[in-house]
Amino acid sequence: MEEILIKDIDIIDPKVNETAQMVITSKEEDTGKRKKLYIESYGCQMNFADSEVVTSIMQSNGYDTTSSFENADVVLLNTCSIRDKAEQTVRNRLGQFNNIKKRKPEMTIGVLGCMAERLKEKFLEEEKIVDIVAGPDAYRDLPQLVLSAEGGEKGVNTFLSREETYADIAPVRLNSNGVTAFISIMRGCDNMCSFCVVPFTRGRERSRDPYSIVNEAKDLFEKGYREVTLLGQNVDSYKWSPEENNKSWLEKKERKGESIQVINFANLIEMVAQVSPELRIRFSTSHPKDITDEVLYAMKKYDNLCKYIHLPAQSGNTRVLELMNRTYSREWYINRVDAIRKILGEECGISSDMIAGFCSETEEEHQDTLTLMDYVKYDFSYMFYYSERPGTLAAKKYEDDIPLATKKKRLQEIIDKQQEISLERNRLDIGKIHEVLIEGTSKRSDEQLQGRNTANKVVIFPRGNQQKGAYVKVKVNDCTAATLFGEVVS
């Protein structure tokens, strides 16, 4: 089984107010196939899951993987467009690849994912730095695109599908700790948040056949995996019907008052939870406008549905949320948080995304974000200052009028607030016993293991005789803002 190289970690460094990139590449694999593939993934978990699909497709077409791009016949970058820094990182990496290509002209370089969708003409015609451009719905076509490029033609497919979910493709698990894995349950997004490029780069929302999702979870469990994360841009809007998920058919049935067998997200997580009580289930990402009490009660019903929800707020001010086209108010968001605390308890983990310095945000509105953080008590957050993305609704409608120095100042205040709250939340766990799924050796020491509890908090403890993939009871005796420390108890 392949392993991953994690070169950086997707966290906020409060010293520099920037987000480091996570880069995942497959290690060396030699099964005697004729050609070598090197792939790097940037950005969100959806990109990492997509790279596992791409690797499966390429392996089925005569490729082994390599950890060295210098040795590769095909080099692919699965890219992210959510922030300018991510795009600049990819451009710099393409420059390195093209330096190798000067000495090895037969190498094929391709860009996948969101940047491919957004910048295809620029990459191919203006800058001439890639041979292949493939959007998120075109991965089945990659072998043919490579052949086109090898024949001297540019390989391009950025067609956005209304049906493609890759449900029939068994991903090659690049995240091969052998314990945790991703399962994509839907693709695309119908929300039009004004700051976001995803609806334009990943297309319309469509849900995957739930029975294929359950079968993938069963297969992973049988192979020794003990945790899966169900992925979607907005998992709470998951909806599938046996009539091939045909919306016009659904609407016709509803008008006639006929019963409809529709599987929603609450139904789906119950189906996956029933694979085995020893298989933990997480999911990401939830949208505040769509998360229902039905989902929360399903989480309460099954112990293996982890008590953790990533619920991005983006801002704590209603006017700014309206400009962002988030379609909920501060009050609605608080209502959903109150429901989580009421149904799942105070110990349920909640995390968020926060954007500092969105268009026209005032100092008072920024303070509303800080007071929301005080109210919710997030366990952690992903925090950024606003970066205008070309083609988004915000770029077309609003002036990016907050000075960079002000954005950075506000971001630092959000980071400082989150550090304070995270430490406060973690201190509440001291003296308590948590069930922890062991994911592997701690980065701190070979004599320590690490895993996560149900609330998605990292727990570190002495190795002893414990093995990766096992569940253990750990009594917490110390913490930082990011980590719990403890010892195994019988």
Paired tokens of 300: 């309460």
What type of residue sits at position 372? L
Architecture of domain 433-489 in this structure: Beta Barrel (2.40)
pLDDT for the residue numbered 251: 58
471-479 and 483-489 beta bridge pairing: antiparallel
Q: How far apart are CA 155 and CA 49, in angstroms?
A: 23
198-247: pLDDT as tens digits: 888 888 899 999 999 999 999 999 999 999 999 999 999 999 987 655 55
Closest CA to 43 of 395, 389, 391, 397: 389
pTM for this predicted structure: 0.86
Q: Letter for the amino acid at 302?
A: Y
| Domain(s) of CATH 3.80.30.20: residues in the chain | 180-427
> Which pLDDT score, from 0 to 100, does residue 90 have?
82
CATH 3.40.50.12160 residue ranges for the chain: 4-157
Taking phi first (over 0 means left), then psi (-120 to 50 degrees means alpha), and beta for anything else, what does residue 469 get? left
pLDDT for residue 425: 98
Range(s) for CATH 2.40.50.140 in the chain? Answer: 433-489
pLDDT at 254: 59
The sign one gets for the Cα dihedral 181, 183, 189, 191 is negative
Distance CA 39, CA 134 (A): 13
CATH classification code of 4-157: 3.40.50.12160
Strand 448-452 versus strand 433-441 pairing type: antiparallel
* pLDDT per position as a tens digit, 46-79: 888 999 999 999 999 999 999 889 999 999 999 8
In the predicted model, residues of the chain with pLDDT beneath 50 are 1-21, 249
Q: Which long-range contacts (CB under 8 A, 24 or more apart) does 458-466 make?
A: 458/482, 458/483, 458/484, 459/434, 459/483, 459/484, 459/485, 459/486, 460/484, 460/485, 460/486, 461/436, 461/485, 461/486, 461/487, 461/488, 462/487, 462/488, 464/488, 466/438
How is domain 180-427 classified at the architecture level of CATH? Alpha-Beta Horseshoe (3.80)
